[in-house]
Homo-oligomer: A and B are copies of this chain.
Amino acid sequence: MLELIAPLVVANNTKIVLLSLDGLGGLPRPETGRSELETARLPNLSRLASTSACGLIRHVAPGITPGSGPGHLGLFGYDPLRYLVGRGVLEALGIEFDLRGGDVAARGNFCTVDGSGFITDRRAGRISTEACIRLAERLRAIRLPGVETFVEPVREHRFVLVLRGADLGGKLSETDPQALGRPPLPVRPLDPASAPTAALVNRFVTDAERLLHDAAPANMILLRGFDQLPELPRFPSVFGLRAAAIAAYPMYRGLARLVGMDVLKTGSSFTDEVATLRRHWDEYDFFFVHYKDTDKAGEDGDFDAKVAALERFDAVLPEIEALRPDVLVVTGDHATPSILAAHGWQPVPVLVHGRYGGADAVDAFTERACTAGSLGTMPAFHLMPLVMANALRLTKFGA
């Protein structure tokens, strides 16, 4: 798709705003038969839907629940089945670690092992973040020949390990046996180029075991999701857009940076984000604006909080419309139904508002209403081409 689009891109001065409500989609609450979107009072989204082309977005494939990486890559126009981002890389992006090409990143857990070295708790009793910071500091003493190592605490028992050096390989097996009563596994290289890196990581684990022997319950580590930064086509080059990301949460800033967007400094609330949008309006053609509250409420299984988060978003929406973007898109990176209290596989509502998008019979921005929209149920990576067309930034294909 990117190969098809890039040669068709033409210059224009139109402005595009892509609003991603994290975990937007939901499911009916059994008591009422109405989803979060169907329960919330959303006058602005309803009005916008009734003058937009609506539909549903599927980020990966039917039945597949997207993580935040694939969810956002899809929205940015990348087929998430083709462009894979490893868990270690995502974890590093999530703490805005300055990951560089060639670095190998892994997601780490502190864990508990017994006297025989068998795992008794894969999460070390979810130690406090403070303990995690202290123990990560201890692991920083480990020196490996020829590479720099970084140990970055994340939250509770989680940390990120990064190796930086020449000729590292990220195709490595995991040390986590995903079961109790067994010892951590040694790392094996999954391709020949990763063999020296595997030896380095095994040495790191041995040193860590020694340094942590008195730190129970966090007396050992597990490493998984080894990967290197993927080589992604750069979003601004592919689409010919000066592109900016506005996101209060580091993970989404990291994902935007991964595809080459400028990441704008902003505050911690959605109102801050909209102020940032307004302040930088003239400098960019494309804005990705991320709204986190919907996902947080959904993950907590808090239906009412998700309804409230949607209503808060709706109240701010007119401020974004007032900037008069040529194309305004409202959608999400995946569903987080409150009754599931987790990411879901359900397709997510989308609306594309612009002069040339056409409207359809949809007059509410809900899962059910959008099913009848003119956009149908489409793969997420088809969204950007559609948005580009609506912004009159694509020429025709073939004479």
Contacts and interface: CB of A to CB of B under 8 A. Distances in A.
Give the number of times this chain occurs in the complex, counting copies.
2
Interface string A383-399: 11111111000111111
B358 A63 contact: no
B27 A399 contact: no
Interface string A355-399: 110111100000110011111111000111111111000111111
A200 interface: no
Contacts of A345: 386, 389, 394
A63 B356 contact: no
A388 B65 CA distance: 11
Interface in A82-135: 84-87, 90-91, 107
A397 B360 contact: no
Interface in A1-44: 1, 4-5, 8, 27-28, 33, 35
Given A27-B356, A360-B371, A368-B361, A399 B64 contact: no
The A interface, classified by DSSP as helix, strand, loop or mixed, is loop
Contact of A80 (B1, B5, B398): B398
A169 interface: no
User: Which interface residue of A60, A358, A368, A374 has the most chain B CB atoms within 10 A?
Assistant: A358
Contacts of A395: 65
A244 to B, nearest CB: 21
A28 B53 CA distance: 12
A332 interface: no
A35 B360 CA distance: 11
B69 A399 contact: yes
A62 interface: yes
Contacts of A375: 62
A347 B53 CA distance: 12
A146 B397 CA distance: 34
A398 B63 contact: no
Interface stretch (A277-285, A294-302, A335-343): A335-343
Name, among A346, A367, A368, A371, the residue most crowded by chain B CB atoms within 10 Å (CB to CB). A371
B358 A346 contact: yes
A399 B80 CA distance: 12
A360 B368 contact: yes
13 contacts: A8-B64, A27-B358, A60-B397, A61-B382, A64-B396, A65-B389, A66-B398, A67-B398, A225-B399, A340-B356, A359-B368, A372-B372, A376-B377
Given A61-B385, A345-B394, A361-B372, 16 more contacts: A1-B61, A5-B64, A8-B64, A27-B358, A62-B383, A63-B386, A67-B396, A80-B398, A90-B398, A225-B399, A340-B356, A344-B356, A346-B356, A371-B376, A372-B372, A376-B376
Interface of A: 1, 4-5, 8, 27-28, 33, 35, 56, 60-71, 80-81, 84-87, 90-91, 107, 225, 337, 339-340, 342-347, 355-356, 358-361, 367-368, 371-378, 382-390, 394-399
